[in-house]
Amino acid sequence: MILLLLALISFTCALCFFIWEKSQLFDRSFLEQLVIEYYRSKYRLQDFLRDQKNNIFSTSRVKVQNLSAPQFIKKHARAYEPTPYAVLDRIFDKLSFFDKTELAFIDYGCGRGRTLNVAKAYGFKNLQGLDIDAHLLQSCQNNLARNGITNFEAQLFHISADDYLPPEGDKIIYMYNPFDEEMLRSALNNIKQTQGEAFLIYVNPVNQRIFKEYGAELVRHYDHPYEDYSFSFFRMKNDSWVKI
């Protein structure tokens, strides 16, 4: 019993030291970092269990240097890290009023396809995903197939955002901070050139000011105790969208 207590104390001290070190590294208070580590640990466990339930594998992170893409493209990319299921559920719950049979849902930096799988589960019929890493796209295709999502329902593109033109018509576009400012500007410029209105979901919106430069109107911002999981809704070419 004493040994167990000592082990617990040692573990707690080590954990506190780890959190303190990270708080110093990112210039946060100990309490702020503690909250962040709580959510990250909680979401990792939830994501693992949800992947098991959905019979897919989408959880692991891929560093930028390990992405399978040319360096001139990779230099604009962020590390692949899927959005936590809890955050996705929060987002898709707010899209309930849209006609999901008509709208295209497009994931920029789709990775292993977690967001596309969730979009399908929430009723979207026309899915598109793009990524610069062919290996991640193959994993995405496999994960979609395991959930019975056919190539007719989901189109995948091995392409960078500056070379991709979204389909004509109204669409919902999803971004989990997938690239830097330069690539974001190219992507938004291409989106602006297509017909129809675009409703944009931007998770971890560190560069949301750039959306406004391209005529996107901020609909609403949703905070999260860990800022990486906050998100903003934008719209381009206002017409007759449902207010969220």
Structural domain includes residue 163? yes
Q: Check residue 59 and give its pLDDT.
A: 87
Q: Strand pairing partners for 107? A: 129, 174
225 phi, psi to nearest 5 deg: -55, -30
The DSSP output letter for 227 is G
Closest CA to 173 of 87, 95, 85, 101: 95
Range of the domain at 48: 2-54
What's the longest Cα–Cα distance across the chain? 70
Rounded-to-10 torsion of CA 122, 195, 75, 151:
40
Structural domain includes residue 244? no
Q: Check residue 234 and give its pLDDT.
A: 96
Is 26 buried (19+), middle (13-18) or exposed (0-12) by CB count in 10 A? exposed
Task: Examine the domain organization and report whether 227 and 131 are in the same domain.
Answer: yes
Task: Examine the domain organization and report whether 94 and 10 are in the same domain.
Answer: no
Structural domain includes residue 242? no
Q: Which of 54, 76, 91 is the last residue of a domain?
A: 54
Task: Examine the domain organization and report whether 41 and 91 are in the same domain.
Answer: no
Task: Examine the domain organization and report whether 19 and 101 are in the same domain.
Answer: no
Structural domain includes residue 103? yes
> What ranges in the chain are assigned the alpha helix state H?
2-25, 30-54, 71-74, 85-93, 114-121, 134-146, 181-193, 208-213
Structural domain includes residue 243? no
CA end-to-end span of the chain, whole Å?
Answer: 55
Task: Examine the domain organization and report whether 68 and 156 are in the same domain.
Answer: yes
Within 10 angstroms of residue 232's Cβ, the number of other Cβ atoms is 18
Task: Examine the domain organization and report whether 49 and 108 are in the same domain.
Answer: no
Q: Check residue 99 and give its pLDDT.
A: 85
Structural domain includes residue 215? yes
The DSSP output letter for 223 is -
Task: Examine the domain organization and report whether 7 and 128 are in the same domain.
Answer: no
Q: Check residue 60 and give its pLDDT.
A: 84
Task: Examine the domain organization and report whether 11 and 79 are in the same domain.
Answer: no
User: In angstroms, rounded to a whole number, what is the distance separating the alpha carbons of residues 194 and 169?
Assistant: 8
Q: How many domains does the chain have?
A: 2
Task: Examine the domain organization and report whether 107 and 218 are in the same domain.
Answer: yes
Q: Check residue 240 and give its pLDDT.
A: 45
18 phi, psi to nearest 5 deg: -60, -45
User: In angstroms, rounded to a whole number, what is the distance separating the alpha carbons of residues 232 and 90?
Assistant: 12
8 A C-beta contact, residue 136 and residue 98: no
Task: Examine the domain organization and report whether 14 and 101 are in the same domain.
Answer: no
What is the chain's pLDDT, residue by residue, as a tens digit (244 residues)?
665 555 555 555 655 655 555 565 566 676 676 777 788 889 999 999 999 999 999 988 899 999 989 898 999 999 999 999 999 999 999 998 888 888 999 999 999 999 999 999 999 999 999 999 999 999 999 999 998 888 888 999 999 999 999 999 999 999 999 999 999 999 999 999 998 999 999 999 999 999 999 999 999 999 999 889 999 999 987 444 444 4
Q: Which residues contact 135 (CB under 8 A, 6 or more apart)?
A: 68
Structural domain includes residue 97? yes
Is 165 buried (19+), middle (13-18) or exposed (0-12) by CB count in 10 A? exposed
Task: Examine the domain organization and report whether 47 and 76 are in the same domain.
Answer: no
Closest CA to 187 of 109, 72, 103, 83: 109
Structural domain includes residue 59? no
Give the CATH number for residue 134: 3.40.50.150
Q: What does the angle CA 57 – CA 147 – CA 126 come to, to the nearest 5 degrees? A: 110
Task: Examine the domain organization and report whether 168 and 197 are in the same domain.
Answer: yes
